[in-house]
């Protein structure tokens, strides 16, 4: 293991390249070219106002671009995520009846962890997808395995 000093204030320990450890629990996938939107969920069937556009997504988190300046870290936002079926795979599963059925939308909480102002009018908001059950998280992971990885 190698130790590096930065500005004389702190040190960081780096592992040799063949032993690099990925910090993320879930791999991020680049969905920006698909121009998918995320909406705020207000409890109505048609959903709420547009929150932003999906930049990248993992089975554990989401990063969007929005023009709403009032979003802050540690805030929780109720969202509706609607993804199209891709390569014959639906991103979520409806288990409200006896027979499981594919579905394309998920409603849950986004726990905002980071907000970064991109330009005068746009912000990148990143956060964790909360209260997603294991079956939906697994199906989302399978769905995303067919998508390009994010940097």
- For residue 47, is it within any domain? yes
Is residue 5, in this structure, part of any structural domain at all? no
- Give 21's contacts (C-beta < 8 A, 6+ positions apart): 15
Structural domain for 125, as ranges: 24-144
Three-state secondary structure call for residue 123: strand
One digit per residue, the tens of pLDDT, for the chain of length 151 reads 444 444 444 444 455 555 554 455 556 667 777 888 999 987 776 666 899 999 998 888 899 999 999 999 999 999 999 999 888 888 999 988 899 899 999 999 999 999 999 999 999 999 999 989 998 998 988 888 877 666 5
CA 42 vs. chain centroid, Å, equals 20
Residue 51 lies in a domain: yes
Q: What is the pLDDT of residue 12?
A: 47
CB within 8 Å of 116: residues ≥ 6 apart: 123, 124, 126
pLDDT at 8: 46
Determine the Cα–Cα distance for residues 20 and 133; give it in Å rounded to an integer: 30
Q: Could you give the number of structural domains in the chain? A: 1
Residue 13 inside a domain? The answer is: no
Supply the CATH number for residue 52's domain. Answer: 2.40.10.220
């Amino acid at each position: 293991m190698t130790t590096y000093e930065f500005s004389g204030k702190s040190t960081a320990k780096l592992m040799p390249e063949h032993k690099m450890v990925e910090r993320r629990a879930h791999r991020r996938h680049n969905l920006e070219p698909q121009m998918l939107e995320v909406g705020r969920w207000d409890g109505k069937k048609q959903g709420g106002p547009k929150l932003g556009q999906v930049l990248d997504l993992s089975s554990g988190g989401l990063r969007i671009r929005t023009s709403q300046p009032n979003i802050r870290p540690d805030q929780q936002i109720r969202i509706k995520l609607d993804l199209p079926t891709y390569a014959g795979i639906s991103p979520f599963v409806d288990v409200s009846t006896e027979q499981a059925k594919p579905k394309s939308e998920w409603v849950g909480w986004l726990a905002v962890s980071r907000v970064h102002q991109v330009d005068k009018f746009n912000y990148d908001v990143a956060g964790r997808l909360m209260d997603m059950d294991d079956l939906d998280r697994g199906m989302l992971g399978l769905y995303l395995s067919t998508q390009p990885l994010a940097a």
